[in-house]
């Protein structure tokens, strides 16, 4: 585990394909999403979902932007406001 952490500490940018499985515990239904994730230090992330629906989650560490292509909707949220409310 120390080698993985050491490698990550030296990494400035990361790109990976992902598959996300989510199970709704109330209804017992599992859904799967696929896409790409990008991480750039310090504090930047982007999640590009390609299946089952195209959507994007982008953050610069202070603001989160979400775009849902099928609904033609975009949202913006301050992460500073959110984190101060959760404490």
pLDDT digits (tens, 9 = 90+) for 29-79: 999 999 999 999 999 999 999 999 999 999 999 999 999 999 999 999 999
Torsion of CA 74, 47, 19, 31, to 10 degrees: -20
What's the start-to-end Cα distance of the chain, in Å?
30
pTM of the model: 0.77
Q: Is the pLDDT of residue 1 over 90?
A: no
pLDDT digits (tens, 9 = 90+) for 8-18: 888 899 999 99
Under the banding of pLDDT at 50, 70 and 90, the label for residue 82 is low
Q: What is the pLDDT of residue 80?
A: 86
Euclidean distance between CA atoms 60 and 68, whole angstroms: 18
Euclidean distance between CA atoms 9 and 14, whole angstroms: 12
Place of tokens 């400035």: 12
Asked if 53 contacts 34 with a C-beta cutoff of 8 angstroms, the reply is no
Protein fold of 13-85:
outer membrane lipoprotein receptor (LolB), chain A (2.50.20)
């Amino acid at each position: 585990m120390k080698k993985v952490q050491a490698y990550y500490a030296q990494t400035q940018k990361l790109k990976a394909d992902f598959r996300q499985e989510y199970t709704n515990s109330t209804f017992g239904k599992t859904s799967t999403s696929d896409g790409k994730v990008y991480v750039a230090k310090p504090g930047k992330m982007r999640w590009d979902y390609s299946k089952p629906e195209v959507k994007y989650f982008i953050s610069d560490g202070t603001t989160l932007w979400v775009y849902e292509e099928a609904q033609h909707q975009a949202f913006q949220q301050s992460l500073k406001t959110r984190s101060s409310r959760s404490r």
